[in-house]
Structure 1
Amino acid sequence: MPGHYKVLIVDDSPVMQSVIEAILKEDKTLQIVGTAVDPFEARDKIKLLNPDVITLDLEMPNMNGLEFLKRIMKLRPMPVVVISSHATEGSEIASEALRLGANACLPKPNLSDEHAMQTMRQAVRDACLMEVGGAERRQSPAPSAARPSTPPPASGAAPDLIALGSSTGGIEALEVILGRFAADCPPTVITQHLPGRFSAGLAARLDRAILPHLKVAEDGETLRTGCVYLAPGEVGHLHIRGRTTLTCHIVQGDPVQGHRPAVDEMFRSIASLGNWKVSAAVLTGMGADGAQGLLALRQTGARTFAQDQATSLVYGMPRVAAECGAAEQVLPLQALADALQGRQIMKKVANQ
């Protein structure tokens, strides 16, 4: 059906399948194409029906949902919305599902809660929109863009600002990169596609795991050395402004390529800053968000990077960034932390 997104419901309870189907059918852009009671049936239905998104329970026979999610993201990346009684806000299992690549985690629905039902429809629709525009499994062509006529020279100097953009698989990638940052690292800003209610939990988790201090960015906040700032989910786009002092600004606006906050919005705001030394990278994720903003940064002289395919959970966003000439270097995840901080000069491997 033109204009419709195909949904596969994966849940071992026929009753819950019916409840989820009834809720999602209220959104005329969503078409329920099938159901599955366990991961093995889901695997066959995915091959047969080619859904745009699946809803996934976590407690099922034969294989638990987290293991199935891990396999999906490795073998056939696609949008997944976890719907489980265990996926309560801030729970460890919800955080793990997001780390493995789920677009959103929601509790099992209650038909008497209209707000919860609307949230579910919105989450499934948003997951479909996030996938459009260059995910690896669909191999959409990268947007055309002029390559910088004169790439900036390699420099080993530490930057004034580091900027990172990520989506599916990004939580794990961020843990690896930030885990190699020193306690006095340059101010670092991150846009990770994430439901808003999980922003604080993710920030707290990452803060415990790394040496710099990591927090959710606040409007008007001054950027400081040794601090990492995470864009709050869904409320607006993170912009960075300033001449002598850099500050965070949460800017209201429509989703960009299905995302709010959007990586492109953050990168473009940084590209307009002027005479600041910037390092930026597009990490694993579905779609094309970040590519054009990274290109704008490269054209202003920033050091720009993309995560390589071998270490990306989903080689969508970094692929587009590399193909359109936005990334000066394409590097494995383990090398990005040093490159971003200017610790060493590496041989250019992309777009030369």
Structure 2
Amino acid sequence: MADVKVLVVDDSLTMRVLISGALERIKGVAVVGAADGAAEARAMVEQYRPEVMTLDVEMPGMSGLDYLAEIMETRPMPVIMFSTRTAAGAAESVEALRLGAIDCFPKPKVAVQSELDAIINKLGKRIKSARNADLKRRIGGAPGHARKAPPPAMNWNGRILAIGADAANTQALFDLFQSFPANCPPTLVVQQMSPGLLTPMIDQLRDQIAPKVVEAADGMKVEQGTIYFAPQSETHMVVDTWPEGRIRLLAREPVAGERPSISLLFASVAKAAGANGLGVLLALDDEDGAAGLRAMLAGGAYAIGRTGTDFSLSKGMVSQPVAGDAISANVLKLCGK
């Protein structure tokens, strides 16, 4: 397979050189250009046709967020953001993910190679998997922050919903949860994302969706109308029984390199709820999540995987492959009477 063509966009010459040099050391990645801002990047996109872009959030003139919104409206491509490791930077990172960026990495505090070495493996993996990103064109610009009118109440059938995602699925999660009524099915979410981004993401969701959104805590009762996010900690999130289940946070080793683990959540839901469990895997390249889908089916639960993944019916990993824009309707149908 040909190298992934990457365009680096950053207003700092030092950072452009540093990031480009780091990316060139990743086998299978080729840097085709380095732009100092949105105007130069537009020209380079036309000239070099990159497959992935790295983009600085904080740029003079047109900001990285504004340029990202333009990209997702006019010419969607996988974009990886770099942002400062501050409270404001975390909020901007979540906004970038909501707009359609596939990941957001901390920008080095000082322009030295060792700062990038710490994330180079994950960055390389994300760039190579970006070809499979489920990009969604935004018509009419970026979505606003105003809360939409809540969907009508549903007649819940007793199913518990478990969702496995990564940073690239943030936009999909916002779209999914905006379709949920206030009395949505009880929903447990494991989302693999950079440290420090969970709290600002929950804050944004609370402003925009009808259901209650919380960071899960050990012993919490799992109730209809609430979405529970696994904390970014040294624990895994599972549910103990169903119905009348409670969340348990388990201090165990990572699974497939991940903690919290999508697979452990899915397996616990399958064991506790059986046919009353529903698992939805949004991540495209998640080894942890693939094992979780198998656990769902083995436990008699229903499993949904997005089309365009390897989670095929023929491999016995999903009950139903679903296109990204049809997930909301399918989930609400499967959880309603």
Distance 1:251 1:111, change over 3 A: same
Aligned partners of 2:274 and 2:299 also within 8 Å: no
2:122 aligned with 1:126: yes
SS in 2 for 1:185: coil
Tell me what 1:287 maps to. 285
2:286 aligned with 1:328: no
SS in 2 for 1:55: strand
Q: Which structure 2 residue ranges, 5 or more long, are not aligned?
A: 134-154
**% of aligned pairs identical?**
23
One-letter amino acid of the counterpart of residue 172, structure 1: Q
Q: Distance in 1 between matches of 2:109 and 2:295?
A: 43
> How far 1:16 moved relative to its partner?
2.9
Q: Distance in 1 between matches of 2:258 and 2:46?
A: 30
What TM-score results when the alignment is normalised by the length of structure 2? 0.70
Q: Which structure 1 residue ranges, 5 or more long, are not aligned?
A: 138-155, 309-314, 344-352
Aligned partners of 2:53 and 2:77 also within 8 Å: no
Deviations 1:273-312 (A, max 9, x none): 36561122122x441442331232123221222345xxxx
Aligned partners of 1:240 and 1:269 also within 8 Å: yes
Superposition RMSD on alpha carbons, in Å? 4.1
Q: Distance in 2 between matches of 1:282 and 1:164?
A: 6
One-letter amino acid of the counterpart of residue 215, structure 2: V
Distance 1:340 1:164, change over 3 A: farther
> How far 1:247 moved relative to its partner?
1.8
Q: Distance in 2 between matches of 1:263 and 1:74?
A: 34
1:1-352 map, 5 Å:
9-20=8-19, 24=22, 33=31, 35-38=34-37, 39-40=41-42, 43=45, 47=49, 55-58=54-57, 64-66=63-65, 69=68, 71=71, 78=78, 80-83=80-83, 88-91=88-91, 93-99=92-98, 100-107=100-107, 109-111=109-111, 118=115, 120-130=116-126, 136=132, 158-233=157-232, 235-242=234-241, 245-254=245-254, 256=256, 259-273=258-272, 275=274, 277-283=276-282, 285-289=283-287, 290-308=289-307, 315=308, 319-322=309-312, 324-329=315-320, 330-331=322-323, 332-343=326-337
One-letter amino acid of the counterpart of residue 122, structure 2: D
Q: Comparing both chains, which one has the higher relative contact order based on Cα–Cα distances under 8 Å and sequence gaps of 6 or more?
A: 1
Deviations 1:259-282 (A, max 9, x none): 443423321232333656112212
Structure with bigger helix share is: 2
Deviations 1:122-160 (A, max 9, x none): 3443233356679527xxxxxxxxxxxxxxxxxx97134
Aligned partners of 2:55 and 2:79 also within 8 Å: no
Q: Distance in 2 between matches of 1:236 and 1:96?
A: 26
Distance 1:196 1:336, change over 3 A: farther
What TM-score results when the alignment is normalised by the length of structure 1? 0.67
> How far 1:97 moved relative to its partner?
0.9
Q: Distance in 2 between matches of 1:134 and 1:271?
A: 30
